[in-house]
Amino acid sequence: MSQLEALKTFTTVVADTGDFKQIAAYQPQDATTNPSLILKAVQKPEYAPILSAEVAAHKGKPLDEVMDHLLVHFGCEILSLIPGRVSTEVDARLSFDTAATVARGKRLIAMYQAQGIAKERILIKVASTWEGIQAASQLEQAGIRTNLTLLFSFCQAVACGQAKVQLISPFVGRIYDWYKKSAGSAWVEAEMAGANDPGVQSVKQIYNYYKRHGIATEVMGASFRNVGQITALAGCDLLTISPELLAGLAASDAPLHASLHAPAALAMDIPAVHFEEASFRFALNEDAMATEKLSEGIRAFCADAIKLEKLMLAA
């Protein structure tokens, strides 16, 4: 049994890509996309015609609407290859606008439904800002499931649980990146790997808190830098993994055991926490890593959305 096959016995495996031609080989349950992944895909010759076709089909429509049609096209292609759900992201430029995020999420769902896709197969990805979390709460109340992304801190996870969102995506690799850069020459890779990896520790803390307090929100580790981070989180509800790392797992037959256990979390002494807007903003501000990585992530997704719009204008 490969590590990928073993992982599937503990955890729902999700493919993290816009390159849907790569998905079938790994037979994931779900898939996730983001603006950067879609941008990367449409710059490949085999996907360029999709961009051209969507631009032609919606000529004269606002760019943001054409962009959503493009995202939905990729989502539909992915859904034809997997049994589960696909995550489609709201424009990161709306990360601090609750009403606009809600409207965009509803529009994406309507576009999917127009293609015959049930809303239960879609997760609307929203940045884990205070405004994004409130938007997700409203979408959930309207029967639209959400995936809260760009999540780096415990306070973000707690607020998402309070909002009863369907799923969160803690960014393991980006947390690891920050601590490694911050430590500089003092960083010893071997000592900070596996269970000692700060990104892995963040996901474990969130997972144990959710299970201890009966929070139904699914935990999906994301943004991995190496196979070791993935195997250290075996047992997590879901893990979304790039095709490159899926290939690494498929090529290895090293033993794999679950590291996260819901029954064990139930016995842990973990106090309940609650955040209002002010306390959330203060807690996030106190976490330098989360503050910096959240801002950086939003900026990067915004930049890639603008690049995607430029490609559409040139098509």
Indicate if 125 belongs to the active site: yes
For residue 150, give the 3-state DSSP assignment. Answer: strand
- CA trace torsion 257, 260, 263, 265 (10° rounding): 150
Query: Rounded to whole angstroms, how far apart are CA atoms 90 and 136?
Result: 11
* Strand 30-32, strand 238-241: pairing: unpaired
Helix %, strand %, coil % for the chain, to 5?
60, 10, 30
The DSSP element (H or E) to which 208 belongs, if any, is helix 198-212
- CA trace torsion 253, 11, 15, 284 (10° rounding): -120
Active-site annotation holder among 125, 204, 211, 293? 125
* DSSP code of residue 275: -
For residue 274, give the 3-state DSSP assignment. Answer: coil
Contacts of 277 (CB under 8 A, 6+ apart): 130
CA distances from 294 to 127, 150, 288, 297 (A): 8, 6, 10, 5
Query: Rounded to whole angstroms, how far apart are CA atoms 152 and 288?
Result: 10
For residue 293, give the 3-state DSSP assignment. Answer: helix
Query: Rounded to whole angstroms, how far apart are CA atoms 294 and 299?
Result: 9
The DSSP element (H or E) to which 250 belongs, if any, is helix 243-251
**Contact predicate 74/106, CB 8 Å:** no
End-to-end CA distance of the chain: 46
Query: Rounded to whole angstroms, how far apart are CA atoms 18 and 137?
Result: 26
- Which residues are designated catalytic? 125
